[in-house]
């Protein structure tokens, strides 16, 4: 027994009970981005083919998700109505390409390799013949897991997970790939301060190594996952940190894919870590819908 009743005044016991109850309530409360409950997703188990699911994107043509696995050489399609997985392409990249993310823009697929290369493919590619590769040459050892499309500038944006030149800088760096010219900018597009992430979270221990990102179709802000550190960070489209959220590792054991439907529904994929890989689905609620 923690306290002996006869040794403590009854008023003190009431105070302690109230304090413990209040602490418990705070622990149970989960802060979420506007429009979502990140503590209450719809959980969809995925098959072992996607044990190492490393990126997803929404396919506007049919409302399904496209997905890649870093141990496979092809793109898969996940039928969200029937929860069925099928091949979207054949093997279209060389073995050991280490695919980390993907984007579909019009009739083209863009796949990100971890070393900082973008592969362009026709959406129905059947082999490697139509593959075009664009490399970002930074020098040193660099690791990328994040690629997203910014329609406002018709460009793809890559975010460093860890890049050689960032050592000691306290930043994560973004690079822009112009889809009109099919070239990378000669300089960085923007940087994100890790100190800003820590300041919003009010902790010095946050680890921010981007593993996926996508622009929200309604509020136009950038949502960035960091599997390392279990974080969701929200910024503007130039990396200014607005919000940051700690994710429950039981629900987000290895979150490495994020995508949005046009109505704001958010999808987050987890690689297999403690069990099966999962897809988490978060319906988007407007303020009007919340009041119903």
Q: Which residue has the higher pLDDT, 10 or 166?
A: 166
What's residue 21's pLDDT? 37
Q: Does the pTM of the predicted model rise above 0.85?
A: yes
* Other beta carbons within 10 Å of 77: 17
Chain-centre distance for alpha carbon 251 = 14
Q: What is the dihedral of CA 173, 178, 182, 187, to 10 degrees?
A: -40
Q: Which residues sit opposite 84 in a β-bridge?
A: 79
Asked, for residue 151, whether it belongs to a domain, the answer is yes
Question: Per-residue pLDDT averaged across 21-33, rounded?
Answer: 51
Strands 143-150 and 222-226: unpaired
CA–CA dist 47, 49 (Å, integer): 5
Q: Which two tokens stand for residue 61?
A: 């043509």
Q: Which residue has the higher pLDDT, 18 or 103?
A: 103
- Sign of the torsion angle spanned by Cα atoms 180, 182, 185, 186: negative
154 neighbors 178 (Cβ within 8 angstroms): yes
Asked, for residue 70, whether it belongs to a domain, the answer is yes
pLDDT digits (tens, 9 = 90+) for 235-275: 999 999 999 999 999 999 999 999 999 999 999 999 998 78
CATH of the domain at 211: 2.120.10.30
Asked, for residue 10, whether it belongs to a domain, the answer is no
- Sign of the torsion angle spanned by Cα atoms 174, 175, 180, 186: positive
Asked, for residue 268, whether it belongs to a domain, the answer is yes
CA–CA dist 38, 179 (Å, integer): 33
Asked, for residue 7, whether it belongs to a domain, the answer is no
Give the H or E element holding residue 12.
helix 10-28
pLDDT digits (tens, 9 = 90+) for 78-107: 999 988 999 999 998 988 889 999 999 999
Q: Range of 257's domain?
A: 37-291
251 neighbors 39 (Cβ within 8 angstroms): yes
Q: Which residue has the higher pLDDT, 123 or 246?
A: 246
Q: Which two tokens stand for residue 206?
A: 């946050």
Asked, for residue 95, whether it belongs to a domain, the answer is yes
Q: Which two tokens stand for residue 189?
A: 């597009």
Asked, for residue 6, whether it belongs to a domain, the answer is no
Above 70 in pLDDT, residue 6?
Answer: no
Give the count of domains, the chain.
1
Q: Give the burial class of 91: count Cβ atoms within 10 A of its Cβ; 0-12 exposed, 13-18 middle, 19 or more buried.
A: middle
- 40, 3, 4: which is closest to 19 by C-alpha? 3
pLDDT digits (tens, 9 = 90+) for 164-210: 999 989 999 999 999 999 999 999 999 999 999 999 999 999 999 99
């Amino acid at each position: 027994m923690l306290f002996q009743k006869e040794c403590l005044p009854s008023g003190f016991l009431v105070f302690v009970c109230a304090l413990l109850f209040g602490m418990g309530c705070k622990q149970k409360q989960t802060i979420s981005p506007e429009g979502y409950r990140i503590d209450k997703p719809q959980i969809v188990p995925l098959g072992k083919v996607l044990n190492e699911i490393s990126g997803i994107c929404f396919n506007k043509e049919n409302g399904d998700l496209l997905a890649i696995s870093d141990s496979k050489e092809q793109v898969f399609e996940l039928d969200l109505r029937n929860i069925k997985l099928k091949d979207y392409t054949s093997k279209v990249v060389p073995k050991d390409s280490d695919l980390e993310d993907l984007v579909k823009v019009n009739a083209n697929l863009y796949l990100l390799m971890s070393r900082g290369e973008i592969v362009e493919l026709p959406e129905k590619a059947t082999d490697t013949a139509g593959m075009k590769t664009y490399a970002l040459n930074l020098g040193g050892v660099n690791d990328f897991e994040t690629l997203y499309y910014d329609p406002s500038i018709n460009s793809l944006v890559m975010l460093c997970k860890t890049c050689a030149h960032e050592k000691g800088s306290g930043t994560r760096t973004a690079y822009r790939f112009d889809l009109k010219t099919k070239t990378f900018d000669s300089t960085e597009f923007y940087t994100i301060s890790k100190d800003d992430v820590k300041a919003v979270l009010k902790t010095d221990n946050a680890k921010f190594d981007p593993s996926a990102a996508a622009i929200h179709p309604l509020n136009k802000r950038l949502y960035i996952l960091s599997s390392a550190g279990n974080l969701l960070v929200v910024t503007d489209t130039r990396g200014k940190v607005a919000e940051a959220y700690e994710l429950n590792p039981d629900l987000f054991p290895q979150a490495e894919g994020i995508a949005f439907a046009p109505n704001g529904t958010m999808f987050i994929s987890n690689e297999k870590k403690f069990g099966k890989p999962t897809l988490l689905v978060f319906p988007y609620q407007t303020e009007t819908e919340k009041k119903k």
